[in-house]
Structure 1
Amino acid sequence: MTASWWFRLVRRTVGAALVVALTVVFLALLPVSLLVAAVVSPFSQGRWRPIRLLWIATVQLVLETTVLLALLVLWLMSGCGWRIRAPWFERRHYLLARWYLVTLFREARRVLRLKITTQGPAPDAHPGSPLLVCSRHAGPGDSLVLMYALMHWYDREPRVVLKDTLAWDPMVDTLLNRIPNRFISGGPGDDVEEHIAHLATDLDDDDAFVIFPEGGNFTPKRRERAIAKLRERGFHHMADRAEGMRNVLAPRPGGFLAALEASPDTDVLLVAHTGLDHVLTVGDVWRELPMDKEITTRWWRVPREEIPSGRDAQIDWLYRWWEDIDHWVEEHKPTDLGPIDPFGRLGRRPHQDVADEARRRAD
């Protein structure tokens, strides 16, 4: 066993113990914390901001501890890890991840007054076939929204390449290492395209390989750096096109092309969204509470035969789609949900346009 394996084991064990201990202490002090939050709330900006944030933190800790205990039970049931990657146990882990996301989002919608609506054809319109999901990236919340939609609405089993910094969360580290995912550092010697090609190979009928071609969350500074880097490398035409996109980063085609090559018969699902673009840090969450926001997502399914062959043609195809996504985001800037009545119910915006599919899947 390598030193890195022992490091991951110690990190998971210590991290999990700390999360459980923190949850116990947090729950023990919850009555006092609620009293303090209630006293402070009238003096803070927003409607019961401290209480809402305290409740979301409580729900998150309880959910994470519950998942960690469930992961321990599954590990014991598998013969202390002997059969942990068997199909039955893999499915149980996906169901556990879906339960976590569904519960978290139901509380977030209720407490933070979030609304998620969907435009475009649903990914389950053609069930029984895998998908390559190519999504805009604009904040930590968008990844959770996408995974929630794929798993809860469409019963897909996502595969994704993640930054290795996320593995410091013991729940994320343990759960996602037991199902097809990869943590990468992105540093020298770490072949990201190889990881992507490996994950995108041999997709099952209900699989969805997820990739974020921008490579990071959108910010104005990152957009400027991405354009400058294209010019430094001599890609002036791509830099000119990137300058015309105001709401997205220039896509990095390498990973996407690797996924296309690894899964040559799979359709592509492009995803745009807007609503949480500016919520990037804990401080942003604090300032935005209560959020009163509508998260709008748009799905475009492209049959594989409509995607051109050849590297240059595929890069041009990806850029054209990213330009379309940029235009869509510009036309669907975040809006407030409207007034709230004394009973906490949401008012409707004068021009609220919610598709039948979105209404049916509101929960």
Structure 2
Amino acid sequence: MGIGIPVRRAVLRFPLLRRTISIPVLLFFTALTFVLVPVVGVVTAPFTLRPGGRGRAFRFSVFLAVYLVSEVGGLAACVAIWGRAGFRASKRPETSESSQAYQEANFQLLARLLDRLYAAAGRLYGLRMQLPETVGPSHSGRPTVPELPPGPLIILSRHGGPGDSFLLIHALLVHGRRRPRIVLKDTLALDPLIDVVLHRVPHCFVDPNPDGHPENEHGEDKHGEKTAAEIGRLAAGMGPDDALVVFPEGGNFTPGRRIRAIMKLRRRGLRDSANRARRLHHVLPPRPAGVFAAIDAAPDASVVFVAHTGLDHMESVADVWHSVPLTKPVEATWWTIPASRIPIEREARLRWLQDNWAEVDAWIGQHQE
């Protein structure tokens, strides 16, 4: 049985209560992992060292140890950053110079930690990214990753496979040199480092509930309206180095969620959207409310559509287990729509969003293993 709804809401609502629970749990499992990793290594050595052995148990246990140590080290770094700021409250006006420096220090910390985890996943799981390339300047002739356009960005990415959101944030921080404003599930606040770091930078925790909330007598999803308002608030006031990250599907793609999303559109009488959703085979239909709220709140921002594949076949723990080590890279691509080319009228904007999302689906279909 899952955690009771009242308890869950209390834990997610009150940071002090949440961290009083999550940080001791983190420390306990970190210590336990350091005891168990050598045991796992010894017990599984005969299977790991034999011809064709993949050493999955040892790979997962070592990565867990790296992750937990990174969490503990990250929390220690958070305390140090807080101390350098004079142990003052972190929620200061974003326009002040001290607040900008404070946020930048936390973004740099997040980039270092994600870089470390990406390197560990590469060594242990065979994880690697294959990005689109263009021919570089004529004097070099070397292929380069296409640059993101200047100015604020709204990143609309598909959500498929374990860890894809972390890969996107890592790419934005390390390669794109952007300060991500992240919309993510509220349950991720139970991770103590995510909880602490993201509460120091612009963010938005939401309860996406991919399977839907009850509708009122008018067929409206009030929870969706609240989430859209939160996304709009987060998008407002973005600077030239900011990028709002939104996953329009609201959750990882699975065939079951696809069917339920189509049925919900039919229940609400959105026949055209339901028919369009039926033609999508690799992504869930996008939820327009949050996307449109972000565009309205940041009218000067370009929109970047991101498609990727390589992790989306892992829908269960068993899938993850049998897929390691990875034999194929994670392929990704993106394209940019300037703010001037985004339709203003709602119906035209909805068609524009659905057409681009169909392009995401088509690209995945062409590149998926």
TM range (shorter): 0.7 to 0.9
- Residue aligned with 1:179, SS: coil
Partner of 1:118: 131
CA contact (8 A) 2:254 2:315 kept: no
Matched, 1:301 2:327: no
Query: Judging changes above 3 Å, is the alpha-carbon distance between structure 1 residues 189 and 80 closer, same or farther for their aligned structure 2 residues?
Result: farther
CA distance in 2, matches of 1:189, 1:218: 20
CA contact (8 A) 1:268 1:303 kept: yes
Matched, 1:324 2:337: no
Partner of 2:179: 157
CA contact (8 A) 2:70 2:113 kept: yes
CA contact (8 A) 1:120 1:299 kept: no
- Deviations along 1:207-250, whole A, 9 cap, x unmatched? 00011111111111111111111111111111111111111111
Which deviates the most, 48-57 or 174-183? 48-57
1:292 is displaced (CA, Å) by 1.9
CA distance in 2, matches of 1:252, 1:189: 12
Query: Judging changes above 3 Å, is the alpha-carbon distance between structure 1 residues 104 and 226 closer, same or farther for their aligned structure 2 residues?
Result: same
- Residue aligned with 1:271, SS: strand
Partner of 1:7: 14
1:151 is displaced (CA, Å) by 0.8
Partner of 1:69: 76
TM-score normalised to the size of structure 1?
0.85
Q: Equivalent of 1:97, from 84, 95, 110?
A: 110
1:154 is displaced (CA, Å) by 0.9
CA contact (8 A) 2:148 2:176 kept: no
Query: Judging changes above 3 Å, is the alpha-carbon distance between structure 1 residues 83 and 230 closer, same or farther for their aligned structure 2 residues?
Result: closer
Partner of 1:257: 292
- Deviations along 1:168-202, whole A, 9 cap, x unmatched? 11111111111100112356668101100000001
1:81 is displaced (CA, Å) by 3.5
- Structure 2 gap ranges (5+): 1-9, 93-98, 135-144, 214-221
Query: Judging changes above 3 Å, is the alpha-carbon distance between structure 1 residues 241 and 84 closer, same or farther for their aligned structure 2 residues?
Result: closer
1:64 is displaced (CA, Å) by 1.0
Query: Judging changes above 3 Å, is the alpha-carbon distance between structure 1 residues 23 and 271 closer, same or farther for their aligned structure 2 residues?
Result: same
Higher relative contact order (CA 8 A, sep 6+): 1
Q: Which runs of 4+ in 1 moved over 6 A?
A: 3-6
Q: CA RMSD in A?
A: 2.2
Alignment of 1:102-181 (within 5 A): 102-119=115-132, 124-127=147-150, 129-181=151-203
1:125 is displaced (CA, Å) by 4.0
Partner of 1:338: none
CA contact (8 A) 1:116 1:296 kept: yes
- How many residues are treated as equivalent by the alignment? 331
Partner of 1:356: none
Query: Judging changes above 3 Å, is the alpha-carbon distance between structure 1 residues 173 and 44 closer, same or farther for their aligned structure 2 residues?
Result: farther
- Residue aligned with 1:210, SS: strand
